[in-house]
Homo-oligomer: A and B are copies of this chain.
Amino acid sequence: MGQRNRLQYIILGLLNQQPQTGYDLAKAFENEIGEFWQAQHSQIYPLLKRMESAGDITHEDTVTGEKLAKKQYKLTPTGYQKLVDWVSEPSPELTPNKDEFILKLYFIKTADDPRLQPMLREQYQLHQAQLHHLQQRRKTVFADSTTVDHAYGHYLILDHAIERETHYVEWLAQYLNP
Protein backbone atom coordinates (compact mmCIF):
# COMPACT_ATOMS: atom_id res chain seq x y z
CA MET A 1 0.00 0.00 0.00
CA GLY A 2 3.01 2.33 -0.30
CA GLN A 3 3.42 4.33 2.87
CA ARG A 4 0.16 5.85 3.89
CA ASN A 5 -0.18 9.24 2.26
CA ARG A 6 1.05 11.56 4.98
CA LEU A 7 1.19 14.50 2.61
CA GLN A 8 -2.58 14.76 2.57
CA TYR A 9 -2.63 15.35 6.33
CA ILE A 10 0.01 18.02 6.09
CA ILE A 11 -2.09 19.74 3.45
CA LEU A 12 -5.16 19.47 5.70
CA GLY A 13 -3.14 21.07 8.49
CA LEU A 14 -1.95 23.89 6.30
CA LEU A 15 -5.43 24.57 4.94
CA ASN A 16 -6.77 24.60 8.49
CA GLN A 17 -4.42 27.46 9.31
CA GLN A 18 -5.87 29.40 6.41
CA PRO A 19 -7.53 28.67 3.07
CA GLN A 20 -4.95 28.90 0.31
CA THR A 21 -3.97 27.83 -3.20
CA GLY A 22 -1.86 24.92 -4.38
CA TYR A 23 0.85 27.41 -5.15
CA ASP A 24 0.81 28.69 -1.58
CA LEU A 25 1.00 25.13 -0.24
CA ALA A 26 4.01 24.38 -2.42
CA LYS A 27 5.71 27.50 -1.03
CA ALA A 28 5.11 26.34 2.53
CA PHE A 29 7.53 23.48 1.90
CA GLU A 30 10.32 25.97 1.37
CA ASN A 31 10.41 27.21 4.96
CA GLU A 32 10.44 25.48 8.40
CA ILE A 33 8.07 22.81 7.28
CA GLY A 34 10.53 21.86 4.55
CA GLU A 35 12.89 20.83 7.35
CA PHE A 36 10.56 17.95 8.13
CA TRP A 37 8.67 17.20 4.91
CA GLN A 38 9.02 18.05 1.23
CA ALA A 39 6.66 18.18 -1.73
CA GLN A 40 6.70 19.75 -5.20
CA HIS A 41 3.75 21.39 -6.89
CA SER A 42 3.53 18.44 -9.31
CA GLN A 43 2.65 16.22 -6.38
CA ILE A 44 0.38 18.77 -4.71
CA TYR A 45 -2.00 19.71 -7.54
CA PRO A 46 -3.14 16.16 -8.36
CA LEU A 47 -3.46 15.37 -4.66
CA LEU A 48 -5.68 18.41 -4.10
CA LYS A 49 -8.04 17.08 -6.79
CA ARG A 50 -8.14 13.66 -5.15
CA MET A 51 -8.76 15.20 -1.74
CA GLU A 52 -11.61 17.26 -3.16
CA SER A 53 -13.18 14.14 -4.72
CA ALA A 54 -12.84 12.44 -1.37
CA GLY A 55 -14.80 15.31 0.18
CA ASP A 56 -12.05 16.52 2.51
CA ILE A 57 -11.59 19.93 0.90
CA THR A 58 -13.44 22.27 -1.43
CA HIS A 59 -12.26 25.12 -3.59
CA GLU A 60 -13.53 28.45 -4.74
CA ASP A 61 -12.37 30.02 -7.98
CA THR A 62 -11.23 33.58 -7.56
CA VAL A 63 -9.98 35.95 -10.23
CA THR A 64 -7.14 38.37 -9.63
CA GLY A 65 -6.65 41.31 -11.98
CA GLU A 66 -8.04 40.78 -15.47
CA LYS A 67 -8.36 37.00 -15.64
CA LEU A 68 -5.82 35.13 -13.49
CA ALA A 69 -7.75 32.20 -12.02
CA LYS A 70 -6.81 30.95 -8.58
CA LYS A 71 -8.25 28.04 -6.66
CA GLN A 72 -8.63 28.82 -3.01
CA TYR A 73 -8.89 25.55 -1.11
CA LYS A 74 -10.38 25.10 2.35
CA LEU A 75 -11.34 22.23 4.66
CA THR A 76 -14.72 20.60 4.85
CA PRO A 77 -15.92 19.39 8.28
CA THR A 78 -14.91 15.87 7.18
CA GLY A 79 -11.44 17.10 6.31
CA TYR A 80 -11.14 18.90 9.62
CA GLN A 81 -12.09 15.73 11.48
CA LYS A 82 -9.49 13.77 9.49
CA LEU A 83 -6.84 16.28 10.53
CA VAL A 84 -7.83 16.09 14.20
CA ASP A 85 -7.74 12.28 14.06
CA TRP A 86 -4.29 12.25 12.47
CA VAL A 87 -2.78 14.63 15.00
CA SER A 88 -4.40 12.76 17.89
CA GLU A 89 -3.40 9.27 16.81
CA PRO A 90 -0.06 7.97 18.13
CA SER A 91 3.07 8.06 15.95
CA PRO A 92 4.61 4.83 17.13
CA GLU A 93 7.13 4.36 14.33
CA LEU A 94 10.09 6.69 14.13
CA THR A 95 10.03 8.14 10.62
CA PRO A 96 13.09 6.72 8.84
CA ASN A 97 15.82 9.27 8.28
CA LYS A 98 18.29 9.45 5.44
CA ASP A 99 21.64 11.19 5.26
CA GLU A 100 23.84 10.57 2.26
CA PHE A 101 26.86 12.30 3.79
CA ILE A 102 26.84 10.29 7.02
CA LEU A 103 26.61 7.14 4.92
CA LYS A 104 29.69 8.13 2.95
CA LEU A 105 31.53 8.40 6.23
CA TYR A 106 30.62 4.79 6.92
CA PHE A 107 32.86 3.75 4.05
CA ILE A 108 35.89 5.66 5.30
CA LYS A 109 38.00 3.02 7.03
CA THR A 110 40.65 5.01 8.90
CA ALA A 111 40.95 8.37 10.63
CA ASP A 112 43.84 9.39 8.39
CA ASP A 113 41.96 8.90 5.10
CA PRO A 114 42.79 12.08 3.14
CA ARG A 115 39.17 12.47 2.02
CA LEU A 116 37.83 12.75 5.56
CA GLN A 117 38.74 16.32 6.53
CA PRO A 118 37.57 17.95 3.27
CA MET A 119 34.26 16.09 3.59
CA LEU A 120 33.80 17.27 7.16
CA ARG A 121 34.68 20.84 6.23
CA GLU A 122 32.18 20.88 3.36
CA GLN A 123 29.36 19.65 5.56
CA TYR A 124 30.36 22.06 8.29
CA GLN A 125 29.87 24.97 5.89
CA LEU A 126 26.53 23.68 4.66
CA HIS A 127 25.04 23.04 8.09
CA GLN A 128 26.45 26.25 9.47
CA ALA A 129 24.71 28.17 6.67
CA GLN A 130 21.48 26.30 7.30
CA LEU A 131 21.69 27.07 11.00
CA HIS A 132 22.13 30.78 10.35
CA HIS A 133 19.18 30.77 8.01
CA LEU A 134 16.96 29.12 10.62
CA GLN A 135 18.09 31.53 13.33
CA GLN A 136 17.19 34.44 11.06
CA ARG A 137 13.77 32.92 10.51
CA ARG A 138 13.19 32.69 14.24
CA LYS A 139 14.19 36.30 14.67
CA THR A 140 11.77 37.55 12.03
CA VAL A 141 8.84 35.15 12.58
CA PHE A 142 8.89 35.54 16.35
CA ALA A 143 10.04 39.16 16.54
CA ASP A 144 6.84 39.84 18.43
CA SER A 145 7.21 37.63 21.49
CA THR A 146 3.45 37.13 21.81
CA THR A 147 3.36 35.33 18.46
CA VAL A 148 4.47 32.13 20.15
CA ASP A 149 1.23 31.99 22.17
CA HIS A 150 -0.97 31.28 19.17
CA ALA A 151 1.66 29.63 16.95
CA TYR A 152 3.19 27.31 19.50
CA GLY A 153 3.64 24.44 17.07
CA HIS A 154 5.41 26.69 14.63
CA TYR A 155 7.74 27.77 17.40
CA LEU A 156 8.38 24.16 18.42
CA ILE A 157 9.38 22.91 15.00
CA LEU A 158 11.59 25.87 14.30
CA ASP A 159 13.25 25.35 17.66
CA HIS A 160 13.69 21.66 16.91
CA ALA A 161 15.26 22.40 13.53
CA ILE A 162 17.66 24.89 15.11
CA GLU A 163 18.64 22.44 17.85
CA ARG A 164 19.17 19.71 15.28
CA GLU A 165 21.46 21.86 13.14
CA THR A 166 23.29 23.23 16.19
CA HIS A 167 24.22 19.74 17.36
CA TYR A 168 25.03 18.55 13.86
CA VAL A 169 27.50 21.40 13.50
CA GLU A 170 28.97 20.70 16.94
CA TRP A 171 29.36 17.04 16.08
CA LEU A 172 31.22 17.88 12.89
CA ALA A 173 33.46 20.39 14.70
CA GLN A 174 34.47 17.70 17.14
CA TYR A 175 36.12 15.70 14.35
CA LEU A 176 37.51 18.65 12.39
CA ASN A 177 41.24 19.25 12.63
CA PRO A 178 42.11 22.84 13.58
Contacts and interface: CB of A to CB of B under 8 A. Distances in A.
Interface of A: 6, 10, 13, 16-17, 32-38, 83, 86-88, 90-92, 94-111, 113, 115, 119, 122-123, 126-127, 130, 149-154, 156-157, 159-160, 163-164, 167, 171, 175
Given A105-B156, A106-B156, 10 more contacts: A34-B96, A36-B103, A83-B107, A90-B122, A91-B122, A95-B98, A97-B99, A107-B153, A108-B156, A156-B175
B164 A109 contact: no
Contacts of A33: 103, 106
A150 B107 contact: no
Contact of A98 (B37, B105, B108, B175): B37
B97 A115 contact: no
Contacts of A92: 122, 126
Contact of A157 (B17, B106, B156): B106
Contacts of A34: 96
Contacts of A160: 102, 105, 171
A36 B102 contact: yes
B36 A98 contact: yes
A36 B6 contact: no
Contacts of A36: 97-99, 102-103, 106
10 contacts: A6-B100, A13-B106, A37-B103, A83-B107, A94-B126, A95-B98, A102-B157, A105-B160, A106-B153, A110-B149
